[in-house]
């Protein structure tokens, strides 16, 4: 049922037009294609849901695969066998007591281990598919120079106060929730919520991106934001999102504030979205790179992730360092 036409939304008009044209003669291949999959009530492709980002393929292609993008049937069968093997929660500590590695809560205890038991099956040898070797290109020299300058600015001051600690410790931003979305350690889940003219995308531990889908261009003079600024449009069944205007402090994978990310979300079956992305940053990589992987719908909702509100950890880290300094001073 169509959204009432009391409000002019380009997407709802496009949806209406698309439905009309689909019933008419076929369009030339080069023209904008009509969506073929399930639609929302107002005629946009339906990609809404809660999705897990975990997948069996690693981010970068292991060297033994060379330029081979896909697994053989035998290789895939083995990966699938291991993916589907039931696993018990492991409450026995398998790290060495008294070592830094043992100083951690048990992920399984909080059901955060093993990707919450959700791994999208994946016939590819890696997430990265561009360049052809499936590996992220080497960074340009200026990226290393930026990193060294940033390190030099804060050398010896990382525990003075909160300002020079990591963005995750400061509860500012988790890089795994920024575009492009890549699987991370835990809570690597995503919500996509649609309403006429907008798509909201929010990583479980991240901020909401409210993305207009009317095809507007990214403004030239973007106010830098931690999450950048996103605009979107529909191409057939695919939501295409362009994001730029990141704050330089993000330095996602060493990138600069020139980072631009293109994402493509396409529903491929009733439980799966294909997520593809391209990364461009002429100040960090000589060539664009990108990849693709499936994300699988979870029958769930994402619970609130209020980070700074519960950030006892920052206070504890700083007070721990103050105690260590006092001990060191007393010992001398």
Site for another protein in 148-167 (CB under 8 A): 153, 157, 159-166
Q: Which is nearer to another protein, 8 or 24 (CB)?
A: 8
SS3 304: coil
130 to 149: interface string for another protein, x by CB under 8 A: --------------------
Binding another protein (rule: CB under 8 A), the pick from 25, 26, 105, 152 is: 105
Taking residue 205's Cβ as centre, other Cβ atoms within 10 Å add up to 19
Region 289-318 residues binding another protein, contact defined as CB under 8 A: 296-318
SS3 132: coil
The stretch among 63-71, 85-93, 141-149, 254-262 that binds another protein (CB under 8 A) is 85-93
Tokens 């909160």, located at residue: 162
Binding another protein (rule: CB under 8 A), the pick from 169, 268, 286, 287 is: 169
Q: Does 254 bind another protein (CB under 8 A)?
A: no
The stretch among 66-74, 96-104, 235-243, 274-282 that binds another protein (CB under 8 A) is 96-104
Q: Does 52 bind another protein (CB under 8 A)?
A: yes
SS3 23: helix
The stretch among 19-27, 139-147, 222-230, 279-287 that binds another protein (CB under 8 A) is 222-230
Binding another protein (rule: CB under 8 A), the pick from 37, 113, 254, 288 is: 113
Q: Which is nearer to another protein, 259 or 285 (CB)?
A: 259
181 to 220: interface string for another protein, x by CB under 8 A: --xxxxx-----xxxxxx-x-x-xx-xx-x-x-x-x----
The answer to whether 173 and 202 are in contact (CB under 8 A) is no
1 to 30: interface string for another protein, x by CB under 8 A: xxxxxxxxxx--------------------
Q: Which is nearer to another protein, 55 or 285 (CB)?
A: 55
- Rounded least distance, CB 140 to another protein, Å: 23
Binding another protein (rule: CB under 8 A), the pick from 56, 238, 250, 256 is: 56
Q: What is the dihedral of CA 281, 283, 287, 288, to 10 degrees?
A: -10
Q: What is the DSSP annotation of 149-204?
A: HHHHHHTT-TTTSSTTS-TTTTTS--GGGSSSP---SS--EEEEEEETTEEEEEET
Binding another protein (rule: CB under 8 A), the pick from 24, 30, 100, 149 is: 100
φ and ψ of 154, to 5 deg: -115, 5
- Rounded least distance, CB 128 to another protein, Å: 14
Distance CA 181, CA 199 (A): 16
Distances (CA, A) of 310 to 60, 106, 202, 306, 316: 34, 19, 20, 7, 12
């Amino acid at each position: 049922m169509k959204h009432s036409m009391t409000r002019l939304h380009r997407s709802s008009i496009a949806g209406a037009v698309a439905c009309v044209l689909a019933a008419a003669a076929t369009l030339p291949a080069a023209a904008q294609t009509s969506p073929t999959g399930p639609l929302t009530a107002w005629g946009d492709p339906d990609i809404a849901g809660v999705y897990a980002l975990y997948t069996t393929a690693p981010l970068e292609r292991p060297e033994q695969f060379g330029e081979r993008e896909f697994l053989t049937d035998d290789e895939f069968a083995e990966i699938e066998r291991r993916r589907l093997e039931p696993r018990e929660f492991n409450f026995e500590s398998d790290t060495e007591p008294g070592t830094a590695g043992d100083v951690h809560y048990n992920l399984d205890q909080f059901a955060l281990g093993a990707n919450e038991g959700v791994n999208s099956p994946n016939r590819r040898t890696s997430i990265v598919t561009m360049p052809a070797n499936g590996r992220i290109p080497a960074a340009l020299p200026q990226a290393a120079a930026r990193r060294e300058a940033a390190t030099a600015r804060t050398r010896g001051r990382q525990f003075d106060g909160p300002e020079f600690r990591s963005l995750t410790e400061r509860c500012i931003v988790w890089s795994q929730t920024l575009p492009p979305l890549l699987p991370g350690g835990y809570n690597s889940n995503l919500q996509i919520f649609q309403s006429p003219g907008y798509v909201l995308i929010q990583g479980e531990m991240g901020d909401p991106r409210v993305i207009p889908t009317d095809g507007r261009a990214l403004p030239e003079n973007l106010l830098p934001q931690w999450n950048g600024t996103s605009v979107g449009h529909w191409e057939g069944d695919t939501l295409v999102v362009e994001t730029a205007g990141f704050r330089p402090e993000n330095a996602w994978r060493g990138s600069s504030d020139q980072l631009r990310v293109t994402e493509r979300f396409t529903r491929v079956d009733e439980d799966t979205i294909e997520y593809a992305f391209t990364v461009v940053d002429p100040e960090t990589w000589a060539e664009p790179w990108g990849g693709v992987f499936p994300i699988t719908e979870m029958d769930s909702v994402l619970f609130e992730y209020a980070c700074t509100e519960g950030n006892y950890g920052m206070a504890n880290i700083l007070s721990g360092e103050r105690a260590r300094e006092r001990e060191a001073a007393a010992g001398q």
